[in-house]
Amino acid sequence: MNRLSKYILGTITLLIVVFSCTKEKSQENNQLPGVANNPTGDCKSCAFYPWCDESTYTYVDTTASGITTTDYNYLFLSDTTINGVDYKVTDNGAGEIVYHNCTNNVTSFLTYDFGNNLVLHTTLKESLPVGGNWLDYFPGNPIANSTQYKINNKSITRNVNGNLFVDVTLVQERSFLDTVLVTNSNVYYARGVGEIERVVKDISGQQISHRILTSYHIP
């Protein structure tokens, strides 16, 4: 496997990690495949990316290798401060430890890369207007290796797996290796739910992976 292939695989893996108990579908408002109790609270201060203890999400991923189902069951382990920023240390239920922060409607994570370095992902800045953008830089060659984010649309509806989500924000993510674009993703976030869909394509426009939310429960 060459360096570019490893980077693409690593990028997709890290993105999936940031986002395991299979549950029956429940219904909310006769349309959504889940339940979100108490729409306010500290764990829901980032409305488009709630992060609550004992939340569960089930996603289905389609790639060239086939279709897989991933179940996440968040378990808060502790609070910690790194470089002056407070993080919620979370076991995501899929064998990964994630550091989560929500401050001023900005969702960010620290995750471990393959070199066991903590890497910052500023996943969503939900208060930015359409066209708003930001950057994350990654170890190794931080000037050349980065992810560019852009708010492409807001307050839209999105049908995912036959379920209609309202008040959805669309974020474009473009990942670069040595200044070369390697993946281009469209990520959809629904208010009060979080990530509901992710489409990842290579530079030719060929789809690499497609993730959809099939069920969830947020306490």
pLDDT in tens, 123-164: 999 999 999 999 998 877 666 789 999 999 999 999 999 999
CATH architecture of 3-72+129-218: Beta Barrel (2.40)
The pLDDT tens digits of the residues spanning 184-203 come to 999 999 999 999 999 999 99
pTM, entire model: 0.83
Strand 75-82 vs strand 85-91: parallel, antiparallel, or unpaired? antiparallel
Contact between 201 and 64 (Cβ < 8 Å): no
Nearest one of 111, 116, 73 to 91, comparing CA atoms: 73
